[in-house]
A and B are shown apart, each in its own frame.
Chain A
Amino acid sequence: AQSVTQPDIHITVSEGASLELRCNYSYGATPYLFWYVQSPGQGLQLLLKYFSGDTLVQGIKGFEAEFKRSQSSFNLRKPSVHWSDAAEYFCAVGAGGSQGNLIFGKGTKLSVKP
């Protein structure tokens, strides 16, 4: 069965520092992979997605993610974090087939120190 693991429940970084959020997935075929961000009281906003091709994908708000098939990982990165990036981040894998519903990880809460 498909699954997503986000090993870090909570991460704190200083403003201006680099960020990497980890995501590991379990899926039998080439997955569709996504990162979403959720601010308090808000719905989820799609940051970026990977289907195929270039394993380094660029997203909105200066985020990027790299798909590594050998490690079953899809880590999210940002070179310089802004205070407004504080939010919860969810990695998701497309369940495939005709449905296309998403399997989400439990999320990583990002706090940003001034």
Chain B
Amino acid sequence: DTGVSQDPRHKITKRGQNVTFRCDPISEHNRLYWYRQTLGQGPEFLTYFQNEAQLEKSRLLSDRFSAERPKGSFSTLEIQRTEQGDSAMYLCASSPGQGWGAFFGQGTRLTVV
């Protein structure tokens, strides 16, 4: 399968714990995005990488959130000191360039208890 891969698919964590999600984009795509989706809403943009450079971060991305894309390949999204409001589906997408649209992974569903 050559699509966008996310791991884990589901994560349940206790409030205050740290969690890390991984995304493997389509190999020839230099653009990588993280989105968050809550029930009844469309995906909301969190952050964007072009190769290894993080070029944009949404105001939704508080200081507890950090994302990396070492070597411009896979990416990780870490949430520190999780809160119940962080419960959501975290979607990763990749794209070969502007205007192509984004190709999404199946997401990581986070539940903070």
Contacts and interface: CB of A to CB of B under 8 A. Distances in A.
Interface of A: 4, 32, 34, 36, 41-46, 49, 51, 90, 92, 94-96, 98-107
Interface of B: 4, 31, 33, 40-45, 48, 50, 55-56, 91, 93, 95, 97-107
Nearest to A88: B42
Nearest to B107: A43
Contacts of A106: 40-42
A42 B3 CA distance: 13
Contacts of A32: 98-99, 101
Contacts of B98: 32, 94, 96, 98-100
A106 to B, nearest CB: 5
Nearest to A36: B104
